[in-house]
Chains A and B, each alone.
Chain A
Amino acid sequence: MSSSPLASVAPGKRALTGPAIAGLAVVALVAMALPAFTTGYVIYIANLLLVFVVLCLGLHIVIGETGQFSMAHAAFYGIGIYASALANRAVDLPYPFAMLFGALVAGVVGLFIGALALRMRDIYLALATFAFGEAMQWVFANWDSVTNGPNGLRISPARFGPLEILSDKQAYPFVLFFCLLMIGVTVAISRSRLGRSFRAVRESEVAAMAMGIDVRRTRVVAFGLSAAIAGFAGGMFGLFQTFIHPDSLGFQTTILVLTMVVVGGLGSIAGAIGGAIVFGLISEVLRQAPQYQEIIYGAILILFMMYAPRGLFAFIGDRIREARHGR
């Protein structure tokens, strides 16, 4: 039996129950109706959270599904932002294609970095991907002729046909649609043969090899796919944000996304989504208590590690199961 902490949270093909479907329907309705009864500020936060959801899904592919470590996702996210913005600006590429271009560039870089870095394991892999992330931030800050260097890059407003997106509310339906699309893509990957290969590699590389899985190729593909999704999140960022600065793509963002995925629940798509939303919201709410926010944030992390080490959603699931058995 596998000793991996991820083993017990591996996704299976379970049918959704009635209450779950009703719950999802309510969430979907609220999400769709949100712009009608709230301010642009709330919609901005919602857009930002949806982008982080996709970024976390990207990291989930490599960490949660394949069991590899990566500290390079802020860099892939940045590549997606810069590539989509520049493609849109330089050749007036329609924004949806610019987003795909951003994802493609990030994915290709991810494949290349994955091919090199995945020769390493554990702490060495973490350090290699961390070094790549730092190097990319340096590139963003210093490749003046392309990225506008330390002055930051102004992102032109996205266009969808005749519609120019000039506000968070205008951007929201697109951000929501692309987020749902990427959730669908991630679920499809997870349930595909490729996804099963990812999890086989995660649980035991030796067993995976014995089953005929090319472990190295699987790891590289996971890294490339993961980078492409992070790059796509970067393109989504350009739908509502008109400026990017290299300072926003450093170690802090890496740690934030890593925290979201780990605390949400490693190995679970719902965990990655929930972690992004819950921790994104906590971060925003804590802005109202500047004197205490670092203490509160630290305390929350410690409590999670102590009482919900498998993540928020596994914790909630356990409590629900306990309650059912108790009845």
Chain B
Amino acid sequence: MKTNGIVRGLTLAGGLLMSLAAGAQEPGITDKTIKIGIFGPLSGQNMAYGFDVVNAAKMYYDKVNKDGGIHGRKIEYVVEDDRCNANDLVAAVKKLVEQENVFMLNGGSCSAAVVAAKDYIVRNKVPYLMLNASGDGALFPPTDYIFGAFSISQYAVGGAMVEFAAKSLGAKTVAYINHDDAYGAWNLEGSKKDAEVNGVKLVVESVNPTINDVTAPFLKLRAANPDAILLVTYARPAALLIKKAAELGFNKPIILSVTGTASLNQLVGNVGKDALKNFYTQEVMIDSPGGDKLKPIYDMYKAAYPDLAAKPDHPQTYMPYGIPPAMSLVKALQDAGPNPTREKVLAALKAQDFDSGVMAGRMQFGPQQRAANRSTIFIKYDGTTMAPLPGVFTSRWTYEAK
């Protein structure tokens, strides 16, 4: 009995020591803080995609800290600029992991750049939640460490548009303009499934994001006599196409993807209100930017960044996108319990399913699901008024191992 007691005691002590050692090995965690690394494009020509998204995530973490933190620990964040560039993003990630010793990562607004860090993150087993990058190339095939598409998976953008065109506008033939890049390829792949299910004929024209004259692709699409045109492009080609449609008297519905809606004010300035008579924009949030349902987020921004909020065009359109990934990170840490480890957080993430109150769809992960959101709403926009239309439109695309 006595021997058994000693053995038990030693086992317990050994177990305690091992758990202490394991705890000590967990980087970025102290009794009072959890250190996370945030990164996004804070400079350069693509900063509009990430600058205020990073600010939104920061203000959410600040709010969590103000409310008492997570199981008594405050979130400490370190921010790096990734310039939307693969080499810089990898440098930022390595700096945060190896020099700053963060517990987990929350960053990235540019898909191509984000994918460059995939192998490093997986090898080092760091939990990584993207900001607003769709990052499908890093999400699929799924790994145990990378989670994203909190705004929307690029695979789902075009699919949800096809769904809307078919169900709300009764379109049978849809002209579909995408980019000849990663976004374009992912969008089209997702759209084909929804087109097939809805009996929609897709007429596809792929254009370069830097295109200057859209006359030829537009005329080719118009020749197919489509019921609607879907613009799955960035803002610049979209503006050129909308303008061209107006010049050539095209009066059927034009639906612009969320990737092209960076600044609707600028769009009106570029194309004029007359070009927006039969125009719809896709939105991944529950309401139009600045709408009633998103007011608490905008109020939070004004309180957190009064100087920025006073500037024109701030907050930037994508600002609220920074909230759901931050919520997901906080929720995973809470679910991981008072002694969080990277493995516990990853397990919590895989089972996560919550309504952010910001995005159109629920934030859902699963055993093979690494893209949180696949749903969008649509807004009728005439150049002055934004009128959200009823219904949430969800792409059917799901990952299937090849």
Chain A residues, CB < 8 A from B299 = none
Asked if B98 and A40 make an inter-chain contact with CB atoms under 8 angstroms apart, the answer reads yes
> Which stretch in B4-12, B115-123, B142-150, B390-398 binds the other chain?
B115-123
Chain A residues, CB < 8 A from B97 = 41
Give 1 or 0 for each of B81-112: 1 = CB within 8 Å of chain A CB.
10101111011101101110000000000001
Interface on chain A toward B: helix, strand, loop, or mixed SS?
helix
> 12 pairs across A/B with beta carbons < 8 Å?
A150-B112, A151-B182, A152-B137, A152-B182, A242-B116, A242-B120, A245-B182, A252-B85, A287-B88, A287-B91, A291-B42, A291-B43
A284 within 8 A of B: yes
Interface residue from A150, A168, A290 paired with B181 (Cβ < 8 Å) = A150
B386 within 8 A of A: no
Interface residue from B42, B95, B99, B119 paired with A154 (Cβ < 8 Å) = B119
**B49 CB, min distance to chain A CBs, angstroms:** 14
**B226 CB, min distance to chain A CBs, angstroms:** 25
**B281 CB, min distance to chain A CBs, angstroms:** 24
Give 1 or 0 for each of B175-197: 1 = CB within 8 Å of chain A CB.
00001111111000000000000
Asked if B98 and A41 make an inter-chain contact with CB atoms under 8 angstroms apart, the answer reads yes
Residue of B nearest to A40 (CB): B98
Q: A168-B94, A287-B81 are in contact. Are A241 and B184 (CB under 8 A)?
A: no
Chain A residues, CB < 8 A from B52 = none
How many residues on the A side are at the interface (Cβ–Cβ under 8 A)? 34
Q: A41-B95, A243-B86, A247-B86 are in contact. Are A294 and B44 (CB under 8 A)?
A: yes
Asked if A152 and B119 make an inter-chain contact with CB atoms under 8 angstroms apart, the answer reads no
B283 within 8 A of A: no
Asked if A41 and B91 make an inter-chain contact with CB atoms under 8 angstroms apart, the answer reads yes
Q: A141-B181, A149-B185, A152-B112 are in contact. Are A248 and B118 (CB under 8 A)?
A: no
* Tally of contacts, chain A with chain B, CB under 8 A: 91
Give 1 or 0 for each of A137-178: 1 = CB within 8 Å of chain B CB.
010011000000111101000000000001110000000000
Interface residues of B (CB under 8 A from A): 42-44, 47, 80-81, 83, 85-88, 90-92, 94-95, 97-99, 112-113, 115-116, 118-120, 123, 137, 179-185, 208
Residue of A nearest to B122 (CB): A242
Chain A residues, CB < 8 A from B116 = 152, 241-243, 245
Residue of A nearest to B92 (CB): A287
**A240 CB, min distance to chain B CBs, angstroms:** 10
CA of A315 to CA of B291, assembled, Å: 58
Asked if B115 and A44 make an inter-chain contact with CB atoms under 8 angstroms apart, the answer reads no
A126 within 8 A of B: no
A293 within 8 A of B: yes
**A293 CB, min distance to chain B CBs, angstroms:** 6
Residue of A nearest to B136 (CB): A151
